[in-house]
């Protein structure tokens, strides 16, 4: 893999998470989402690419930057789980009375709760993007010749450029 290919893969990973934020906004706005964002950090396209190339990523980024990126990515997915649980987790069946009395107030409370979680997720996203940009700066600083020699067998998984 060349330096440009790795930089493009990280840019794609950033774009995928920004697109996920737009999908979550749509969920909160009441639009039906058929393919929710992956819950686990190793299930999303970015994670599949990143963790399947873990050894190379550690070598390129250095252990400290790799771990920061991993930590921010994991935190993003943990915080997203709160939103996922509101919209996609199956609820226990309610009785007729609670369906009649509590349906609309329950839905508005869920939306309000999701908005609070979304605000936290926005912070997580900014932190994740900031660390990803640090990774891009690190890669850019590498000498091209060393990069091509050391990482010629490195390949991008198509998952890094796909949607979640």
Q: What is the pLDDT of residues 98-111, one digit of tens each?
A: 555 545 567 889 99
More confident position, 105 or 6: 6
Residue with tokens 């199956």: 90
32 pLDDT exceeds 90? no
What is the Cα Rg of the chain in Å? 19
Tell me if the pTM is above 0.85: no
Higher pLDDT, 58 or 5: 58
d(CA 79, CA 84): 9
**Residue 157, by phi and psi: left (phi above 0), alpha (psi -120 to 50) or beta?**
beta
Q: Which two tokens stand for residue 8?
A: 């493009």
Give the whole-angstrom CA distance, residue 140 versus residue 41: 25
Q: How many Cα atoms sit within 13 Å of 68 on the Cβ side? A: 13
d(CA 141, CA 136): 9
CB 65 within 8 A of CB 135: yes
Q: Is residue 161's pLDDT more than 50? A: no
pLDDT of residue 151: 52
The pLDDT tens digits of the residues spanning 106-158 come to: 788 999 999 999 999 999 999 999 999 999 999 999 888 756 555 544 443 44
Average pLDDT of every residue of the chain: 82
Question: Tokens representing 9?
Answer: 């893969």
Contact in structure between 79 and 124 (CB atoms under 8 Å): yes
């Amino acid at each position: 893999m060349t330096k440009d290919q790795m930089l493009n893969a990280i840019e794609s990973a950033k774009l995928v998470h920004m697109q996920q934020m737009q999908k979550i906004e749509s969920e909160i706005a009441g639009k039906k989402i058929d393919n929710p964002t992956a819950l686990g950090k190793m299930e999303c396209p970015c994670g599949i690419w990143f963790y399947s190339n873990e050894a190379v990523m550690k070598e390129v980024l250095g252990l400290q930057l790799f771990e920061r990126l991993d930590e921010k990515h994991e935190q993003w997915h943990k915080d997203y789980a709160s939103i996922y649980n509101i919209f996609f987790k199956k609820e226990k069946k309610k009785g007729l009375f609670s369906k009649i009395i509590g349906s609309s107030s329950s839905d508005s409370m869920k939306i309000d709760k999701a908005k609070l979680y979304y605000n936290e997720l926005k912070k997580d996203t900014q932190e994740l993007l900031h660390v990803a940009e640090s990774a891009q700066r690190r890669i850019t600083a590498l000498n091209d010749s060393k990069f091509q020699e050391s990482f010629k067998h490195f390949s991008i998984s198509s998952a890094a450029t796909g949607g979640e």
